[in-house]
Chain A
Amino acid sequence: MSTTVPSFQELILRLHAFWARQGCVILQPYDVEMGAGTFHPATTLRALGPKPWAAAYVQPSRRPSDGRYGENPNRLQHYYQYQVIMKPSPADAQALLLESYREIGLDPLLHDFRFVEDDWESPTLGAWGLGWEVWCDGMEVGQFTYFQQVGGIATDLPSFEMTYGLERLAMYVQNVERVYDLDFNGKGVKYGDVFLRAEQEYSAHNFERADTAMLMRHFEDAERECASLLAGDRQLALPAYDQCIKASHLFNLLDARGVISVTERASYIGRVRTLAKACCEAWLAGER
């Protein structure tokens, strides 16, 4: 266990080192905008099928509605998730997870760690699992899920999925009240130096400026392209899935712009789910 307080990037490096030792493939972020690390094909698609798989990666996650123009101490429209997936779920998943917290300076004898019921569900991905929020001293420091279904398909081998909210975790470890005050590199650069302006500009984009007619058009384009890539004899599951992720993000932007009513909302989610299911089926067909 390392006792020094890690900078933001050091925290990522320690998690990489730890999960690499557990046999995970260390991947880089996926290059399409998405709402959560679960959308990365390394999780969504790889959770399906009979082949074992283990990976860990950082995924920039965009939640357009959570933008606060850089004024809220702990809400961001762009933040980092640290994502681990192991298929099949190892018998000592909980112990591994606690070990990873020790690596970043959280000692379970000094702190109060708890596994509190939180069933995970993603209506857009047609996915659900059972698990917990991991609490440290009353704060949620991670989400632990045993995947049961993805893309409407029961998983052959249930995966263990762990998601850490990196900023929140770093704030806790560094004892910082404002996300923008986080020590980014241990050499004077703060999180705000890197991201404050982005939060201000993207908040304005998400809530005020994004061209909704264009977003709707792009949503439909993505939807059409996804279907077309899955048509015919040669199904292209991965490129099609990119379009599905894009559609999901475009929907999130439209939602933030406040142009989607409650009933339309359900229908948009249903449309993305249809794409996700089709991609998952195509992926699985190629795996078996």
Chain B
Amino acid sequence: MAEFFLELFSEEIPARMQAKAAEDLARLLGEALADLQPRGFKTFTTPRRLAIALEVQAAVEARSSVERGPRANAPEQALAGFLRKHGADRADLREEAGFWVLDRVSPAIAAEALIADALPKLLRRFPWPKSMRWGGSSTFTWVRPLRRITCLLNGAVVPFNLRDGDDDGHGLVASNLTEGHRFLAPGAFAVSSLADWQAGLRDRQVLVDAAERRAMVAEGVAKVAAAAGYSVVDDPGLLDEVTGLVEWPVPLLGKIDASFMDLPAEVMQVSMRVNQRYFALRKADGRAAPAFAFIANVPGSDGGAAIIAGNERVLSARFADARHFWDLDRKATLESRVAALDAITFHAKLGSQGARVNRIMWVARALASALGLSVEMANQAARLCKADLTTGMVGEFPELQGIMGGYYAAHDGEHPEVCDAVRNHYRPQGPYDELPSGDIGLIVAAADKINSLVGFFAAGERPTGSGDPYALRRAALGLVRIIRERGLRIGLGNILNEAAKQNAPYKPADDVLEFILERLRVQLRAEGARHDVLNAVLGAGMDDDLVRLLARSEAVAGLLGTEDGANLLAAYRRAANILRIEDKKDGPHTGAVDTHLLQSPEEQVLFEALDKVAPTVTAALADENFTAAMAHMATLRPPLDAFFEAIQVNAEDAALRQNRLRLLARLRDVMNSVADFSKIDG
């Protein structure tokens, strides 16, 4: 095996693209060099380089094969086609057993030649999320200007360039040269192997292994924090990003002026994390520490003092800006900001933010009333929930919407439940986000999502396969989570429809309910639950009370998991099959069973069992005691088994046959009142 090494040295690659690029490079090289049986892929990323090393065969061995062509007596055209396909001449052919035959020999290909041929093509179609042109007129694009290509096979340069006809490919030619750290070790140097490259760059202040750098960043910030008596707030996403921003991580600690420590924690975090990529720190008691940790790319010729001072100043300026908004925003109450929402457009077809808030208020009142909660409080929380969109802080930091509203509502002396609702009504923002804690919060969160769903559906903005710009899937999933996890008993279909009437023009919201149920199915599937059971239960009659629907589904799934249930299902299928076939002949076979025609004891026992079970199942369903309904159903198994054991349904006697078919139809109907068992998979 030979060591193949490739480094693509460029101007700074966005941090978020580095890991995916390494994966793509490994996959594409694996495909392009498949004939060399590549293995042992190792990838490396830094802000300025994307590199890979792997083991390959030194050559693709020569191969011979025999291609059988048309019959020797085939028309001339068929032979011409065969020759064209293989690029062969007639003289290359021989005849064997009445067929033309071509002996093909693929010569050996040296790995070097195969690589030199494959790489320009691979690089030209490299799948960067967005790539760019630079310099002259070359059409070769890369994520940022590509400056060097290092390409070695067992230490020797694999010669290739990116020239393509008149296109000079930026004059890029593969070599054995690379460069060290931009500032600490500038200039090119030669490398001869992966190990040499890694060691040479380590000497030149570049750590090429992203995992190693990430560990150094994590340990580094923890260490500088600990030295000051603090701990680091866990933030894996930030660790990933920072790892992609430096080649030589130097951890440093900066201080935060005490005068800023009364700003809301979220405001400080957004400035630090989003704008500056700083790590937030905590004191031993869990409260925010007056310091931050960060990673520089150079140690600083004065030991880092200037770098620390600079970063502290930048953060102070950001906090000063935030303080300006914080002080200014609190001069006007949220209540007084509501009117201004009328002047802000929400959506061309759905009117202003003010109109939107009015509709959310309507839904919140309806939900509060249905759930026996304070209509007044729900109304007030809904009224204030979008008012922070007019504040300077949310204008500056849109990701703080809701959160700032909560703070400002508290400052205005609103009821704590109202503040909580304003703060948390955008939740849950994803599968792992928490739900609002209080009842009013849940109601406003649900009302906001219901209003968005019916509104955007009415405006013709339902999600498509490729896009969901208004995050309606997330809204539907959030709504489902609120209903499921907090057991909200509401007739969702009715609420959706009434909510839709608040929009003009009114459009019935059946499709919204169907969309939400589809999200529910997806969610159940993700949890490993049987989504076919949900379909079966819905098949027994639409139920828009999701809590009840899921309880019933769970009970049916529970029954099917038992031996009785499995047998009952098998018997049901047998009955349904017979009925399907016989109904085609002369059905449907519905109507009352004639007890006088029940000849054998097995028929009589099944009839009596059905007669006894039907009303108890109906009563248990009405009581929402689904476990009891299933237990009653399970008692049908022994008489059913006995029935099929002893009875031939298609009796010679037409009257007997019809009566037995009616008995099976009755069984099917009783079971279908619980769930449409024909929709169960398996």
Contacts and interface: CB of A to CB of B under 8 A. Distances in A.
B156 to A, nearest CB: 27
Given A109-B183, A112-B300, A158-B135, A117 B314 contact: no
Contact of A112 (B132, B296, B321, B343): B296
A107 B301 contact: yes
A137 B307 contact: yes
Interface string A129-142: 11110001111000
Contacts of A107: 301
A213 interface: no
B610 to A, nearest CB: 63
A38 to B, nearest CB: 17
Contact of A262 (B278, B296, B298, B345): B345
B487 interface: no
A91 B144 CA distance: 12
A137 B132 CA distance: 28
A262 B351 CA distance: 11
Given A110-B302, A117-B15, A261-B343, A138 B133 contact: no
Interface string A106-145: 0111111111110100000000011110001111000000
Interface of A: 68, 72-75, 88-91, 94, 107-117, 119, 129-132, 136-139, 146, 148, 155-158, 172, 177, 258, 261-264
Contacts of B184: 109
A115 B12 contact: yes
B20 interface: no
A88 B145 CA distance: 13
B321 A148 contact: no
Given A89-B135, A116-B12, 9 more contacts: A108-B182, A109-B300, A110-B301, A112-B310, A115-B12, A115-B47, A130-B143, A177-B316, A262-B346
Contact of B310 (A72, A74, A88, A137): A137
A104 to B, nearest CB: 15
24 contacts: A74-B321, A89-B134, A89-B145, A90-B135, A91-B145, A107-B301, A110-B302, A110-B306, A111-B306, A112-B297, A112-B310, A112-B311, A114-B246, A115-B11, A117-B14, A132-B12, A137-B309, A137-B313, A138-B278, A138-B311, A139-B314, A148-B132, A158-B133, A262-B346
Nearest to B324: A72
A172 B317 CA distance: 11
A89 B348 CA distance: 42
Nearest to B252: A112
B315 interface: yes
B244 to A, nearest CB: 9
A116 B133 CA distance: 19
A111 B130 contact: no
* 3 nearest CB pairs, A to B: A137-B310, A117-B14, A115-B12
Contacts of A115: 11-12, 47
Contact of B137 (A73, A116, A157, A172): A157
Given A89-B135, A94-B11, A158-B133, A137 B314 contact: yes
Contact of A130 (B132, B147, B276, B309): B132
B16 interface: yes
Contact of B307 (A94, A111, A117): A111
Interface in B178-222: 182-184
A116 B245 contact: yes
Contact of A138 (B16, B137, B301, B310): B310
A258 B276 CA distance: 30
Contacts of A94: 11
B311 A137 contact: yes
Interface in B283-317: 294, 296-298, 300-302, 306-307, 309-311, 313-317
B344 interface: yes
B313 A177 contact: yes
Interface residues of B, number: 50
B293 to A, nearest CB: 12
A114 B183 contact: no
A258 B344 CA distance: 10
A138 B135 contact: no
B136 A111 contact: no
A110 B345 CA distance: 49
A136 B310 contact: yes
Given A112-B297, A116-B245, A88 B306 contact: no
B321 A72 contact: yes
A205 B448 CA distance: 38
Contacts of A72: 321, 324
Contacts of B137: 156-157
Which of A74, A132, A137, A177 is the most central at the interface, judged by chain B CB atoms within 10 Å of its CB?
A: A137
B320 interface: yes
Nearest to B352: A261
A165 to B, nearest CB: 13
B353 to A, nearest CB: 9
A156 B145 CA distance: 16
A191 to B, nearest CB: 16
Nearest to B184: A109
Nearest to B309: A137
Interface in B617-651: none
Interface in B306-337: 306-307, 309-311, 313-317, 320-321, 324
Interface in B337-366: 343-346, 348, 352
A109 B301 contact: yes
Given A109-B298, A261-B344, A114 B310 contact: no
A158 B141 CA distance: 11
B307 A88 contact: no
Contacts of B16: 117
Interface centre among A68, A130, A131, A177 (most CB of B within 10 A): A130
Given A110-B300, A117-B16, A137 B135 contact: no
B297 A88 contact: no
Nearest to B315: A138
A140 to B, nearest CB: 9
Chain A CB within 10 A, most for which of B12, B137, B297, B309: B12
A111 B133 contact: no
B179 to A, nearest CB: 12
A138 B246 CA distance: 13
Given A88-B135, A116-B245, A111 B300 contact: yes
A138 B296 CA distance: 9
Contacts of B345: 261-264
